[in-house]
A and B are shown apart, each in its own frame.
Chain A
């Protein structure tokens, strides 16, 4: 018997094991939302803005390993999720996003709330399609989930015209689909891998560079085993943070633009760089000609196109991290790396990663406070200075997860991602480290967090500025703080070079703002107040904003100027 498209839609979600959807209504999705509303086993989350919605789905997907499902209406509903699609595409987050569309006969007429969302998102989705025939609906939804979660995961967009939702068609939801153009790699070329391992084994100064691929593949435990079996030290990218525990003796730190000095020097001095699950982004390599100049490079990645794109590698290996590591574990033998480790330790002593401790509260103290307060947690960050401090100082152990917007660098990501993570992990504490700029980009999701009873601890570092750009202006633009001061008002002097006594007050008052949502606000001015504030927030069962008032001129250091070699770090 034939059923309506909306009935098949709900059936499909149930068969895919979906129990949570993030949905914002509108004319062109009312039908499927009505059908979902009658299904008790699917939890419908109503965010307060579609950008918040998709970041919540990202946080949910990243923290649970499941596919995040978004439903938004046509036109503005669809365009509002574009930033999140691009973010998920960059950071390989499995999402299936359904957009409503005007009825088939109106497509192309410039109908009310019509946009060509599939056309607009072609370069920022893994796959996107408009359902043009009701009989294809089941197969397309099946394809969407399959594509989103396999291979290098990513966002898939399915555009469903209103009349497809209401018209009758086959009731079957296929159990599997064959897509002739899509065959994710499911094996590893043993010969190539052996070649790579041989290089590693013969190295005097071997180094693992681990990216987000390890975390996505959940290969952390076996990676740690591999490190312990080979005695090869590890640096990570920011997305790879937590690939092995950050307190592991073989873990050096993050490499890259704001990486640890010892980590970047190790990359510059190593003779074999064995990298897994990274695409050698410019924030990792700096000047490509000077990147790992003495090293033979082995590169394992699930995405063929990531290999030999930015960095020409000596041994390319297309494989899922899990498969490659399993195989490597069969061969791995201990290597003599004591001398090399000692060298690295020396560099670390020369220029350790630390901030001043003499005058007032520093971001490092806040991050250490968070480390101590939580034995188990999901930690999300927004984008900017606080993100880099978190990437430098937050400890990631097997009970902790670190979620951040790495590729796209999306301000406004952190808080909704935390809310989404909490919705997917109600038993775990979720901490969002944010800045005063990024927090305001999706502040409306405070309401979502309250109404969904998804309490999150927001550690908001307030320096009155959009700090990351202010840092560049401070160093390289003669302290001309063009549109980065969040206190600046009409009437402020044109050439203002920084804070003084006559600065106007800051808005909003985050404490009052929190209260207005029924959340809590705590302001922290001094180091001694850090731990008590975190304890209080932990005990509280509603979302709490802890506003840490940090120095306005605090810098993220060390740093490498964009395009410079990674060995040329600005340390002070």
Chain B
């Protein structure tokens, strides 16, 4: 069992998100995150999906997605060089002055932005990889237990430019 990434080009139509997410619930696949947005072509949406599965199930997931009429292309990003980021907001409440100092240090180390601050609270805005976000949340949870609110967006990914010739995937040429 490990985390794997799929990019999915789908028709930008009503019900397609429900159909894709329904596949995961209906067949008991383990969905970690799913993000979706329109592409440069407004009739097409691109989803970035993270699933936890074994090899056989992952193959099956790709095939099941591929056979959907509304799915234009399935790209397995597991072994492709990619750029991947996830947006994450963490609000830390009930901070002492010392806590705030520590939070600024943490922000500096993780290279995230302190985007808002109040009397006793700090808002971190992070644009990291999913894994790095996990680590940050784990750390903040330890240090500021019961005093944090987490909002995360799910990963989005795109193939790297420098290495993308081989793996270049244009959905129009399916």
Contact = CB atoms under 8 A, between A and B. Distances in A.
Interface string B83-103: 000000000000000000000
Interface in B1-31: 10-11, 13-15, 18-19, 22-23, 26
A16 B100 CA distance: 71
Interface in A287-331: 303-305, 307-309, 312
A304 B67 contact: yes
A345 B26 CA distance: 44
Contact of B63 (A126, A147, A304): A304
A308 B72 contact: no
B15 A304 contact: no
Nearest to A156: B69
Contact of B14 (A132, A147, A312): A132
B56 A182 contact: no
B56 A303 contact: no
A559 interface: no
B158 interface: no
A132 B13 CA distance: 11
A129 interface: yes
Q: Is the interface of A mostly helix, strand, loop or mixed?
A: loop
A307 B64 CA distance: 11
Given A182-B69, A304-B66, A309 B19 contact: no
B113 interface: no
Contact of B72 (A118, A119, A180, A309): A180
B174 A183 contact: yes
Contacts of B134: none
A127 B64 contact: no
Contacts of B174: 180-181, 183
A385 interface: no
B34 interface: no
A126 B64 CA distance: 12
B69 A126 contact: yes
A122 B70 CA distance: 12
A147 B14 CA distance: 19
A118 B69 CA distance: 14
Contacts of A304: 63, 66-67
Contact of B71 (A132, A147, A181): A181
B28 to A, nearest CB: 12
Contacts of A307: 63
Nearest to B60: A309
Interface string B129-141: 0000000000000
Nearest to B63: A305
Contacts of A183: 174
Given A122-B22, A123-B22, A129-B15, A181 B70 contact: yes
Interface in A101-126: 118-119, 122-123, 126
A308 B171 CA distance: 26
B59 interface: yes
A304 B61 CA distance: 11
B75 to A, nearest CB: 14
A122 B14 contact: no
B68 interface: yes
Interface string A129-155: 110100000000000000100000000
Nearest to B10: A181
A307 B56 CA distance: 11
A342 interface: no
A322 B56 CA distance: 28
Nearest to B20: A122
A118 B15 contact: yes
B18 A179 contact: no
Nearest to B9: A181
B72 A305 contact: no
B59 A308 contact: yes
A130 B13 CA distance: 11
A130 B18 CA distance: 14
A243 to B, nearest CB: 24
Given A130-B14, A308-B56, A312-B56, A181 B63 contact: no
A305 B22 CA distance: 17
A305 B69 contact: no
A129 to B, nearest CB: 7
Given A180-B174, A312-B56, A119 B15 contact: yes
Contacts of A130: 14-15
A123 B73 CA distance: 20
A312 B63 CA distance: 15
Contact of A147 (B19, B22, B59, B69): B69
A127 to B, nearest CB: 5
A182 B71 CA distance: 8
A123 to B, nearest CB: 5
Nearest to A147: B69
A119 B18 contact: yes
A122 B69 CA distance: 12
A365 to B, nearest CB: 44
Contacts of A308: 56, 59-60
Contacts of A123: 22-23, 26
A23 to B, nearest CB: 25
A467 to B, nearest CB: 31
Contacts of B71: 181
Nearest to B57: A309
Nearest to B73: A181
Interface string A149-185: 0000000000000000000000000000001111100
A130 B16 CA distance: 12
A534 B23 CA distance: 48
Contact of B68 (A180, A181, A312): A181
Given A126-B69, A312-B56, A181 B11 contact: yes
B99 to A, nearest CB: 47
Interface in B38-68: 56, 59-60, 63-64, 66-68
A566 B13 CA distance: 46
A119 B15 CA distance: 7
Interface centre among A132, A181, A307, A308 (most CB of B within 10 A): A181
Which 4 pairs of residues, A with B, have the shortest CB-CB distance?
A: A305-B63, A181-B72, A127-B69, A182-B69
7 contacts: A122-B19, A123-B22, A129-B13, A180-B172, A180-B174, A181-B70, A181-B72
Given A122-B15, A130-B14, A180-B172, 4 more contacts: A119-B15, A181-B71, A305-B66, A307-B63
Interface of A: 118-119, 122-123, 126-127, 129-130, 132, 147, 179-183, 303-305, 307-309, 312
